[in-house]
Chains A and B, each alone.
Chain A
Amino acid sequence: MLTPDTVTSLAPDAASYKAAKGLATPRKWQELGKNEHALWGLAAGSGKNPYQTRVALDDFATKCSCPSRKFPCKHALALMFLYVEQEELFEASDPPEWVSEWLEKRSVRQEKAAAKAQTAHAPKDTQAAAKRKEKRSGRIDEGVTMLQEVLEDMLRHGLAQDELRNPETWNNLERRLIDCQAGGLAAAVRMIGELPFHHPHWEEAMLRQMGNLGLLLHTYTHRDALNPDLKSEVEQRVGWNVDKTDILAGEGVQDLWFIGGQERVTRENLLRSSTWLFGTRSGRHATLLQFTQLPARPKETWTVGQQLETQLFFYPGVLPDRALTLAPLPAASPAPPPSDQGGSIEDMLSDFASILAQNPWRKRMPYRIVLQPVFQGNQEYLMDLNGKALPWKSRKMQVDQLTCICGGHPVPMCVLWNGAELEVLSAFAGSWISLTRERSE
């Protein structure tokens, strides 16, 4: 379902958003139309001929005859804004040829992709696959051994050595791990290498993260003795991929899922979009991840505060939380106001401790809880109904916004707890309000 928030989130940048808002006026359009698959219209541009703009309603794919390199272009965004603001302008009709041709081509492409995916998952040459896996396993083992030696060597010589504050040290190590096809380890090393540049107590944080990584390496070397869930968890964290088709072929968890938070983080040219869902019947939670190469934007059809009845398919692992959905994505509707008071900080801490006991590599967990901001000096905290408080990892605008929303009263919130600080995803004030901003890492 198209909503103003959905369209806004599709805008590649602020300039496109502003330009699209300027074009979202009937004066700029001719032959506006729609059917169950698409929207279309002719946008007046600087050229002699108007631009042919079309938007697919299933996945918000767009096509426009304008020369813009941005995607979606301002005309496509404007067409969507116009649709959500003045739907009555769009006459339900048969699409013109330039739309039907595009829809047909899309459908052919989708069929081809489905057929290709089918072929990709046809019975494989098991011998060759096993050989490839063995070869990769050997490389990863080399990477694991190398990293174990490097970490121990660093601790032998001490963290005070200048070399550890040199980004090149960590970049080299990351590159060697990528060569060993251990992508998960490479990412962990990169994060450790960045600590001296943004963490106030980086030495302690580095020691802890090195210990956590060392534990992963140690567990990986003994993976054959582990139960399947833990083995899979450890393998994925080291860098083994799980085939999405296998996940989607497994058993899904049917529930009425509440969308509690969304976050977008860009790193170099990659945008990671995370959506946290809470199962209203099962009590489970799930994280959906999308990775998009900039300047393209992720297509998110849901917004915070909505709920939808669907099946989620979880990645294997210990207390898994990352999940997939089956396409096409179902439509979501606004969730009713929260009826319960949510858990307490004590419950949350106890739950997180028990999760870490089973999966010590879990970095953060989402919770629904009733909290309010409290302040002591320059430090911000969030306090529950029992008067217990934990540090709040906040940004200036969010502090003012949440403090104002709460008005000195605890309100239902969706938060992330990482063992040290709470991050607020959304809060309820008559309706759910997303409190995250797109940021760069």
Chain B
Amino acid sequence: MSVNPLLTQALLGTERHPELPPPPAAVPQESWQKLEGLPPAKRLLHAAALLDIAQSAGQPAREDLLAPAAAPPETRSYPPSSFRAPLLEMLREVHRSCLPEWLEICSDQQWLIPPDLLPQLLDAAQRERSLRESVQDCAGRRGPWLARTRNLWPWLTESLEEGSANWETGTDAQRLRWYASTRKSDPEKAIAALQKDWKKDSPDFRQHLVELIQLAPLPQEEASLQKMALRDRRAATRLAAQLALWKLPDSAFCKRHQQRICQVLHLQNKRNSTELCILLPEEFPKDWSLDGLQSKPPSGKGEKAFWVEQILGLASLQDWAAALNIGPEEFVQLAWDPEWAALLLNAVLLSLTNHPDPDFVVQMLPALLSQAQQQKRRDVVEPLLNGVNTDKLTDLLEQLTLRPEEREKLLHTQSCRVHHERHPKLFALLKEVIRSPHGVSAHFARCLAPESIPFLLSYMATLPQLTPSAERLAHTLEFRQRYLQHLPSFETGTPS
């Protein structure tokens, strides 16, 4: 780096360096010459003034820079100002709990996040992973463009940059993207890479890879799944491989497993009805181990029951019905042989975990809960409800026979939309929770249908005193009401 000669003189001082250097390029020669004859320190001071003015006045503009490629035009519109204003408040940390709902509405209405607020939301989603999907959905084309231009928020562009990943040198995430991309265009190449490095790869990576395959397995992947993945040391990897092979109807595994299901699942006529029952296998054949089934049960469980749970849990309830040669509607109506009810319940729960099917859950829930109650099981409802959509879930919670604390817990943990007329039990529960001296979670502000907000607020206004948490809940409800009422789809009722 070249040092300005005038600065050199200033740093050393005019006592040690009295001679004025030649003028810098920006300063005219004639102005510099006029300084001659002044005492050295005064001359340096004036020279510095000339330098200052010359540099401030003569800053050259750069002409060698290239503008970034423009963001592609948007196809969706931005929200009206009445909907934008609450976002400003939420970004100032007021009623922050309403942000997921705001993003959900923005997405439902096909609106985009205004560009001046998008970076703040991207930063928020960077910190809060649960917001990413909805922010991504409302970021439009400008979001990924901005992420690439600023080299920030990689999660926003990851799904768009499959081709850039590299199997040999990439990170685990890049290698997975490479595999996902390559198996579509050149499955043989992708499988060859998988087989080559299977033993060298980490157990985590192998699990993620098989889980990726499980989403939509290819027939070409059958051999790798059967010979490598099903023999993996990790149970999660083996399970993903089993589920993947089960999705390939022509695979040898699928055919063998169908036979196993048919062997254990039966219908019998008992007590004037057709009941679902189980026929326990006598032994654990060797080929079951090769298909990833385990023979040794965990402590407290019988080994044959454990084999049956594994066999039935791998298949969906639709597959069970198919194995019995009946339709899904008939299957839902089936009574269970009380002798096998506990085993069947475990197998059904395992099947629904491996193959979430909200429609089946909605139809079977009363029967399953009745079975659960008979067996004094209180841990089954929550896993069953995962994946059921908000409106159906709220209806179910209203109908189910539950203790108030169970209902409150579910209302708190699940995504519901309580309507004051359609869900009187749940609405009454909300009223009760608000009155509780132990306080009320802010989450309840979000589980109330917009049209029911005035009704709950009007109820709260009749209470002589609110706890601080109920007060906060009321503020959040008022905030929701204020901006939701501007939405075209919002219909409000008037409390009497």
On A, residues with C-beta under 8 Å from B are 4, 14, 17-18, 21-22, 25, 27, 85, 151-153, 155-161, 203-204, 207-212, 214-215, 218, 345-346, 349, 352-353, 356-357, 360, 372, 374-376, 381, 383, 387-390, 397, 399-401, 403-405, 407-409, 418-420, 429-430, 433
Contacts and interface: CB of A to CB of B under 8 A. Distances in A.
B22 interface: no
Q: Which of B62, B69, B92 has the most CB of A within 10 A?
A: B62
A348 B46 CA distance: 27
A4 B70 CA distance: 33
Given A211-B48, A419-B56, A374 B115 contact: no
A374 B61 contact: no
24 contacts: A14-B93, A17-B94, A21-B95, A27-B457, A152-B45, A153-B41, A156-B41, A157-B13, A158-B10, A158-B12, A209-B52, A211-B50, A346-B61, A360-B53, A375-B149, A390-B62, A400-B123, A400-B152, A403-B149, A403-B150, A404-B118, A404-B142, A407-B145, A419-B55
Nearest to B39: A152
Given A27-B461, A156-B40, A159-B10, A349 B59 contact: yes
Which of B57, B94, B142 neighbours the largest number of chain A CB atoms within 10 Å of its CB?
Answer: B57
A288 to B, nearest CB: 24
Contact of B70 (A18, A151, A408): A408
A18 B119 contact: no
Given A18-B94, A204-B4, A207-B6, A404 B115 contact: yes
Given A158-B16, A214-B45, A400-B119, A208 B65 contact: no
A388 B62 contact: yes
A408 B69 contact: yes
Interface stretch (B280-288, B316-324, B381-389, B474-482): B474-482
Interface string B4-30: 101100111111100000000000000
Contacts of B475: 21-22, 25
A234 to B, nearest CB: 14
Nearest to A205: B52
B10 A381 contact: no
B197 to A, nearest CB: 36
A399 B150 contact: yes
Contacts of A375: 68, 149
Contact of B63 (A14, A22, A387): A387
B63 A404 contact: no
Interface centre among A155, A349, A397 (most CB of B within 10 A): A155
Given A159-B10, A210-B45, A388-B63, A353 B92 contact: no
Given A356-B57, A408-B67, 18 more contacts: A14-B92, A22-B94, A155-B45, A212-B53, A349-B61, A352-B56, A356-B56, A360-B52, A374-B68, A376-B65, A387-B63, A401-B120, A403-B146, A404-B116, A404-B142, A405-B115, A407-B70, A408-B149
A420 B56 contact: yes
Contacts of A211: 45-52
A125 B15 CA distance: 51
Contacts of A18: 92-94
B204 interface: no
B149 A352 contact: no
Given A215-B49, A407-B71, A155 B61 contact: no
| B14, B44, B472 — most chain A CB neighbours (10 Å) | B44
A404 B461 contact: no
Contacts of B49: 211-212, 214-215, 360
B58 interface: yes
Contacts of B152: 400
Tell which of B46, B48, B66, B120 has the most Cβ of chain A within 10 Å.
B48
B57 A352 contact: yes
Given A25-B478, A214-B49, A408-B69, A158 B13 contact: yes
Interface in B71-124: 71, 78, 85, 89, 92-95, 115-116, 118-120, 122-123
A408 B119 contact: no
Nearest to B479: A21
B184 to A, nearest CB: 31
Contacts of B63: 387-389
